[in-house]
């Protein structure tokens, strides 16, 4: 049962990947064969072949195709030894390896045809296993292995090198242990997953191997991770690192920790250097094209979409009375795995804010020259990290704010001297990553501050009474505080674009504080990543839309009988109100905002409404039907033709058509125009 569900979910992706890897494996094995014939070692091809098989094994384990896992495992093992022997492979090894690849290919084809993979042909594993001995013969002599106290099934999943590491790695005060971690939903909710356990355990010792074991586990789970470690930490600390009971610790070697002579000194030093290379690669940095990461995310997105479909299918089954308890449990586990996977990929996409801002000092240096002002740029960005997609959008806004600060806010050295300030002005940019997935950015200067009166005069408006109202005026499209466009700041984007980027595109916040004569500070808050989000999906006027769950305060029923219409007559017309916990909330018909009509021509607001805060005040957006909540991949709309306020991006709900992801607050403010001025609290002029 487990197998069938996992297969349905992963099979298409698995088959594509396996096919590709098999192609590569074949190519490398042929190269190896040719080199063996000529008696020249070909370490690179051996290593590539090893990697391909290693990945095939991992993927096959995910979809539970045991025969392929076994074959790949033993092929991998013999290749690991060939790799350690400098890429030298005995000629007699080639044929069994060829046979192994053929058998794997055959099983992949069986799976593609919707059949079960047939069991491993008799004798193949033995022949492959024998290769290990052959290969070992070419490797340096090793000390006699100390027997590991490990179940045979587990031992079989360790390579010779790993077994050796465990048996020889234990020494005075250091022991080889098996730590069993049992994941479950409640632990995952507390952030205790195999990944966090791995990280914590890594601080206590050296992790040799992590083996996932399926089957009944302590505490009612169905999955256990056996972490095989070399450690000097006490059992209690290890159990604690694995989230406490029901985690358990067992010693792996009979030799008790203590002054037992360790075999370590006998180990030739060269052997240590010949550890398999995954362990050596640990600390390096890898440059990866963003497009490749996007591709990985794209594939993940397909999995997420598929899972949503699966969830719906299971819900239908459940509704029809089918026994789906186990299916539901598997789905939940699958959801957690996808989330972990997402987190892992998103971590790959993170760039250091410091690296993103590396051109700012150069910019300020240029401004110093062009403006003749003395400026010091202080960067305090720490080691905060940001999704590349966010960083790319954010940078122009930051550049603008810094440029503005130097160009408009800071006074000339003479003015500053006259005001009793140091001649050199200060622009400071500081970042602070918050645990909630948000990054706070502060850009402040010690310049002249924003003159609210002058701003009001320029905009032809009454003097704004609050900071937010003042910022609102500054962010009006086309607003400029300068009489003449200067070479640096007068062109290009204004504060309106800064706000567009921060608020509309990134879904962040922008605030300002200013004190006349003392300086101005802009506080930005942006999400660290914008790629995936939990969304509510609903239907309105015959189309589906999604909104970020986080932006919706409440879902309410709209009872037409209880709607109240405020008097019309003003420029905006009447406003419909609905009562919510003793206060009146304006109801906007979403289809009107979207400029659409229901296919059946029916009028009036929809039956459900999403309550969203629009400039601090609740507004209800009426829709026809709620379809549920699911995780979506947000694709920002880049093209100027479709970059419109209120549309955060598009997503694929599984039908291959883009579904719009709306930002209701912005949509309401942008599309409702004059009507919003009548709605309490939603007017643009209102100072919040």
The site for other proteins (CB under 8 A) is made up of: 298, 396, 477, 492-493, 497, 500, 543, 593-596, 635, 637-647, 650, 652, 656-660, 667, 670-671
* Alpha carbons 625 and 48: distance in angstroms, whole number: 53
CA 332 to chain centre: 19
> Taking the complex as a whole, how short is the minimal distance between the CB of residue 468 and other proteins, in angstroms?
21
User: CB 356 → other proteins: shortest distance, Å?
Assistant: 17
**CA–CA dist 223, 220 (Å, integer):** 9
Backbone angles phi, psi at 650, to 5 degrees: -130, 160
What's the token pair of residue 463?
């003097």
Q: Which is nearer to other proteins, 367 or 501 (CB)?
A: 501
Measured CA to CA, the distance from residue 496 to residue 230 in angstroms comes to 58
Is the distance from CB of 607 to CB of 541 less than 8 angstroms? Answer: no
CA dihedral 548, 550, 551, 556 (to 10 degrees): 100
Instruction: Return the number of the residue (175 or 393) whose C-beta is nearest other proteins.
Output: 393
Q: Please, which residues bridge with residue 61 across strands?
A: none
Strand arrangement, sheet containing 223-231: 205-214, 223-231, 175-181, 248-251
Least distance from C-beta 61 to other proteins, angstroms?
A: 28
If the CB atoms of residues 511 and 596 are measured against other proteins, the closer one turns out to be 596
Q: Least Å distance between CB 404 and other proteins?
A: 17
Residue 496: CB minimum distance to other proteins, A = 8
The residue among 120 and 389 lying less far from other proteins, judged by its C-beta, is: 389
For residue 631, what is the enclosing H or E element? strand 625-633
Helix (H) / strand (E) element for 137: namely helix 124-138
Nearer to other proteins, 286 or 487 (CB): 487
To other proteins, the closest distance from the beta carbon of 554 in angstroms equals 24
Which helix (H) or strand (E) element contains residue 557? strand 552-557
Residue with smaller CB distance to other proteins, 70 or 551: 551
- Give exposure, 555-567, as e/b (b: 16+ Cβ within 10 Å): ebebeeeeeeebe
Helix, coil or strand: residue 231? strand
Buried b (16+ CB within 10 A) or exposed e, 166-178: bbbbbbeebbbbb
| 122: preceding bond cis by omega (within 30 degrees) | no
DSSP 437-460: TEEEEEEEE-S----HHHHHHHHT
CB of 487 to other proteins, least distance (A): 17
- State which residue, 102 or 643, has the beta carbon closest to other proteins: 643
Q: Minimum distance from CB of 337 to other proteins (Å)?
A: 23
Total count of residues recorded for the chain: 688
The least distance separating other proteins from the CB of residue 23, rounded to whole angstroms, comes to 22
């Amino acid at each position: 049962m487990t197998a069938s569900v996992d297969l349905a979910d992963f099979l298409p992706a698995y088959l594509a990947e396996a096919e590709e890897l098999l192609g590569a494996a074949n190519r490398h094995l042929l190269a190896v064969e040719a080199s063996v014939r000529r008696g020249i070692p070909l370490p690179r091809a051996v290593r590539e072949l090893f990697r391909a098989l290693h990945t095939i094994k991992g993927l096959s384990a995910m979809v539970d195709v045991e025969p392929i896992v076994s074959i790949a495992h033993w092929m991998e093992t013999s290749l690991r030894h060939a790799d350690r022997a400098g890429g030298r492979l005995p000629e007699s090894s080639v044929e069994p390896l060829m046979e192994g690849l053929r058998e794997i290919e055959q099983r992949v084809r069986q799976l593609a045809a919707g059949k079960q993979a047939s069991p491993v042909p008799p004798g193949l594993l033995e022949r492959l296993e024998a290769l290990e001995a052959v290969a070992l013969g070419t490797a340096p002599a090793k000390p006699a292995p100390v027997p590991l106290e490990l179940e045979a099934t587990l031992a079989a999943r360790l390579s010779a090198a790993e077994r050796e590491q465990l048996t020889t790695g234990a020494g005075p005060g250091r022991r080889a242990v098996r730590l069993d971690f049992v994941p479950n939903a409640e632990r995952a909710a507390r952030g205790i997953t195999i990944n966090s356990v791995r990280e914590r355990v890594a601080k206590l010792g050296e992790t040799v191997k992590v083996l996932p074991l399926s089957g009944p586990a302590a505490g009612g789970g169905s999955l256990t991770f056996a972490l095989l470690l070399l450690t000097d930490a006490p059992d209690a600390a290890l159990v604690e690192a694995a989230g406490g009971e029901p985690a358990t610790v067992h010693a792996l070697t009979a030799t008790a920790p203590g002054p037992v002579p360790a075999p370590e000194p006998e180990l030739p030093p060269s052997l240590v250097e010949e550890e398999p290379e995954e362990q050596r690669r640990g600390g390096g940095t890898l440059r990866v094209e963003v497009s490749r990461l996007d591709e990985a995310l794209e594939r993940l997105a397909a999995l997420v979409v598929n899972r949503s479909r699966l969830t719906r299918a299971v819900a239908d089954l459940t509704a029809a009375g089918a026994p789906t308890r186990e299916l539901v449990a598997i789905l939940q586990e699958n959801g957690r795995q996808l989330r972990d996977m997402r987190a892992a990929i998103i971590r790959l996409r993170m760039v250091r804010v410091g690296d993103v801002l590396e051109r700012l000092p150069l910019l300020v240096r240029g401004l110093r020259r062009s403006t003749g002002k003395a400026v010091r740029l202080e960067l305090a960005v720490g080691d905060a990290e940001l999704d590349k997609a966010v960083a790319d959008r954010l940078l122009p806004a930051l550049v603008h704010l810094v440029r503005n600060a130097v160009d408009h806010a800071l006074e000339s050295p003479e003015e500053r001297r006259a005001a009793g300030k140091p001649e050199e002005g200060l622009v400071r940019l500081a970042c602070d990553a918050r645990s909630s997935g948000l990054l706070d950015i502060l850009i402040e200067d010690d310049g002249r501050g924003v003159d609210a009166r002058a701003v009001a005069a320029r905009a032809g408006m009454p003097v704004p009474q609050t900071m937010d109202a003042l910022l609102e005026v500054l962010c009006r499209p086309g607003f400029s505080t300068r009489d003449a466009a200067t070479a640096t700041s007068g062109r290009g984007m204004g504060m309106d674009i800064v706000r567009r980027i921060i608020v509309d595109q990134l879904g962040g916040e922008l605030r300002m504080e200013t004190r006349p004569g003392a300086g101005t500070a802009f506080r930005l808050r942006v999400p660290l990543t914008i790629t995936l989000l939990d969304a509510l999906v609903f239907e309105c006027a015959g189309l589906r839309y999604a909104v970020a769950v986080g932006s919706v305060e409440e879902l309410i029923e709209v009872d037409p009988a209880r709607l109240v219409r405020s008097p019309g007559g003003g420029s905006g017309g009447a406003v419909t109100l609905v009562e919510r916990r003793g206060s009146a909330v304006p109801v906007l018909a979403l289809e009107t905002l979207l400029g659409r009509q229901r296919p059946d021509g029916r009028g009036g607001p929809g039956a459900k409404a999403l309550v969203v805060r629009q400039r601090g005040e609740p507004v209800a957006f009426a829709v026809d039907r709620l379809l549920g909540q699911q995780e979506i991949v947000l694709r920002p709309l880049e093209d100027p033709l479709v970059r419109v306020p209120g549309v955060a991006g598009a997503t694929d709900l599984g039908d291959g058509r883009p579904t719009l992801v709306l930002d209701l607050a912005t949509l309401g403010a942008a599309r409702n125009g004059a009507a919003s001025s009548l709605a309490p609290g939603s007017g643009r002029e209102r100072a919040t």
